[in-house]
Amino acid sequence: MSTRTSWADLAANSAAENTASSGANGSVGGAPNSGGGPGRAAYVPPHLRNRGPSSDPPAAAPPAYGGPVAAGGGGSRWGAPRNEYRSGYGGGGGRGGGWGGGRGGGWDRGKDREVNPFGDDDDTEQPFSEQENTGINFDAYEDIPVETSGDNVPAPVNTFAEIDLGEALNQNIRRCKYVKPTPVQRHAIPISLAGRDLMACAQTGSGKTAAFCFPIISGIMKMQGQTAQRPPRGARTVYPLALILSPTRELSMQIHEEARKFAYQTGVKVVVAYGGAPINQQLRELERGVDILVATPGRLVDLLERARVSLQMIRYLALDEADRMLDMGFEPQIRKIVEQMDMPRPGLRQTMLFSATFPKEIQRLASDFLANYVFLAVGRVGSSTDLIAQRVEFVHESDKRSHLMDLLHAQRQNGVQGKQALTLVFVETKKGADSLEHWLCVNGFPATSIHGDRTQQEREQALRSFKSGNTPILVATDVAARGLDIPHVAHVVNFDLPNDIDDYVHRIGRTGRAGKSGLATAFFNEGNASLARSLAELMQESNQEVPAWLSRYAARASFGGGRNRRSGGGRFGGRDFRRDSSFSRGGSDYYGGGGGNSGGGYGASSGYGGGYGPGVTSAWD
């Protein structure tokens, strides 16, 4: 295909950038440019993997992905078992509500034993100006338009130093080598610190996790000097002060890892609970004390029903991937957690919703959870970043495998100094993932897979192996589409395109993160006609070259009324649904009319919950 040369160049550039700073990725280097060279883990075909105990030794190596629960074996990081709420910890630190508590107060006894999540025990302080997060190109974000709406929106800041986050947290920000806030952080952090509810939409990879973690950690640090009222206490019930919900186990683990770094030596304890892992270990970890609970909805409901967690003391609620959390698949569970248990009402708690996409219908649903909130959009709602070069190639279903092989061969040839760039390949079904993985391995391309039919241990092992470069190709269903921050992913291939353009945005967002560039290639054929228009629009908006044939598909399509209209309307501005006078329930430009779009409307699209039959992507936990 004529795009081949330019594709290869792009892949090489993207790979170069994504491997340039791969000091932490040393295990990649063993087999220069080789797919299946010596030293690779022995390949086990998918059909043999679920038999008997997994060949993966549990937590044999320091897990790149959390293993926070399994890693608890060394005893409590916090020393003596903690009480569950703030008052139990003050211990008379007695500095009042100010920052004294950040370093002082009754927490010191536990801090000494806290595992250092940075692994840099020398603790050398660096000023903000003398460090950098390697490879971050902040200029890439400078021109992005920002829109806020709501009453009395607090002003943005330009530096972390301007924000009163507390010294212990500031030190962790320096340890993370975050020199200055990303645009979403510049706006969202002051809004949250001012106590306002927030619905925030910002591009993939632009630092949303820190944007909701910093104010939560900082707020809890401020509470440390205060005396909270003890709730009437069940035998072993714990009372977190903050709850962060996310749709997948791996994303919850990742948020936990991040939050633990940000909270290091602040005295704020972060615990994670997710399905597929033994609940007893999670219960033990909770019993040692929890300020911030990161969880997937299913496991949290379980904990609530066992009365092991109470939400009575929640002051902060954050929904990451909030549009996903409120679509038809998850909404009932989220409503149960937020509205039907003992969580304080909107206004009595602070609620933050974050995502890269926010369809208006979901915005409307989400507003039930918020009080007098600020709407923040960094870039257009649901847009993708220009940092990702997007390619769409017309590939018949029967040619997809050989086409993928061509891409991978080209990529191998352009591999940079023996370091193979990571490639993430999205497919529609779990069976499809297994079979493509098998085929790739048989053909000399070490691959692994992640999907809902694999055990949690297998999922985590697959991610570790991918991240380390041992298996530089990961075949995934949508379970890996959102939120995962995997360094060095140079190329995302949409082997099967999703039905929903927002899913496409999240998938390609696994590359081109934190100012780095990336490449996304999609295989398009007649079966994807319903996506043509929104895809062409998205590409145009992100300054990508739209192939003429795709424009023809887009023009031909009378699919405009369906779900695949771009999130939030067609121009910058007016994307807060409260501003859109034409918006009303059931009459939105998203769900009305329908046109013959197979992906259109609730229920029909795989992106919207229902119908998880065997072999069908059921990505969510």
Q: How far is the CB of 462 from ligand ATP (least distance, A)?
A: 19
Three-class secondary structure assignment of 360-402: HHHHHHHHHHCCCCEEEEECCCCCCCCCEEEEEEECCHHHHHH
Gap between the Cα atoms of 203 and 384, Å rounded? 6
- What does the alpha-carbon distance between residue 55 and residue 49 come to, in Å, rounded to a whole number? 8
Nearest approach, Cβ of 509 to ligand ATP (angstroms)?
5
Measured over the CA atoms of residue 261, residue 262, residue 267 and residue 270, the dihedral's sign is negative
Adjacent-strand bridge partners of 293: 243, 271
Q: How far is the CB of 135 from ligand ATP (least distance, A)?
A: 9
| Residue whose pair of structure tokens reads 């902060």 in the numeric block | 316
The position carrying tokens 């140079």 is 490
Rank residues 102 and 515 by Cβ distance to ligand ATP and give the closer one. Answer: 515
Question: Directed axis angle between helix 501-508 and helix 532-541, to 10°?
Answer: 40
- Which CB atom, from 211 or from 314, has the smaller least distance to ligand ATP? 211
* Distance in Å, CB of 106 to ligand ATP, minimum: 31
- Least separation in angstroms between residue 570's CB and ligand ATP is 22
Please report which helix (H) or strand (E) contains residue 447, including its range. strand 447-450
| Closest separation in Å from C-beta 141 to ligand ATP | 10
Q: What secondary structure letter does DSSP report for 238? A: B
Report the nearest approach of ligand ATP to the CB of residue 604 (Å). 25
- Specify the residue, 243 or 514, whose C-beta has the smaller distance to ligand ATP: 514
Residue 202 or 532: which CB sits closer to ligand ATP? 202
Q: Please say which residue, 76 or 363, places its beta carbon nearer to ligand ATP.
A: 363
Measured CA to CA, the distance from residue 424 to residue 440 in angstroms comes to 13
Identify the DSSP state of 239.
Answer: -
136 vs 522 by CB, closer to ligand ATP: 136
Least distance CB 341 / ligand ATP (angstroms): 26
**Residue 587 burial class via C-beta count within 10 angstroms: exposed 0-12, middle 13-18, buried 19 and up:** exposed
Which residues here bind ligand ATP, judged by CB under 6 A? 133, 136, 178, 181-182, 185, 202, 204-210, 356, 483, 485, 509, 513-514
Q: Which is nearer to ligand ATP, 133 or 149 (CB)?
A: 133
Q: Between 213 and 436, whose beta carbon lies closer to ligand ATP? A: 213
Yes or no: say if 183 and 144 are a contact pair by the CB < 8 Å rule.
yes
One DSSP character per residue, 125-184 reads: ---GGG---TT--THHHHT--EEEESSSPPPP-SSGGGS---HHHHHHHHHTT--S--HH
CB-nearer residue toward ligand ATP: 181 or 297: 181
- Comparison of 154 and 205: residue with beta carbon closer to ligand ATP: 205
CA 484 – CA 255 distance, rounded (Å): 9
The closest alpha carbon to 32, from 335, 329, 418, belongs to: 418
What tokens were used for 244?
Answer: 């962060």
- Shortest reach from residue 280's CB to ligand ATP, in Å: 30
What is each CA distance from 339 to 272, 305, 346, 351, 499, in whole angstroms?
Answer: 21, 14, 10, 13, 31
Closest CB to ligand ATP among 308 and 482?
Answer: 482
CB of 542 to ligand ATP, least distance (A): 15
- Tell me how far, at minimum, the Cβ of 259 lies from ligand ATP, in Å: 11
- Rounded CA-CA distance 503/264 in Å is 34
CB 394 within 8 A of CB 532: no
Least distance CB 198 / ligand ATP (angstroms): 14
C-alpha 151/C-alpha 471 separation (Å) is: 50
> d(Cα 597, Cα 608) in Å, to the nearest integer?
14
For residue 478, what is the DSSP state?
Answer: G
Nearer to ligand ATP, 214 or 445 (CB): 214
What is the rounded CA–CA span in Å between residue 85 and residue 310?
Answer: 11
77 vs 506 by CB, closer to ligand ATP: 506
Q: How far is the CB of 84 from ligand ATP (least distance, A)?
A: 28
376 touches 147 (CB < 8 A): yes
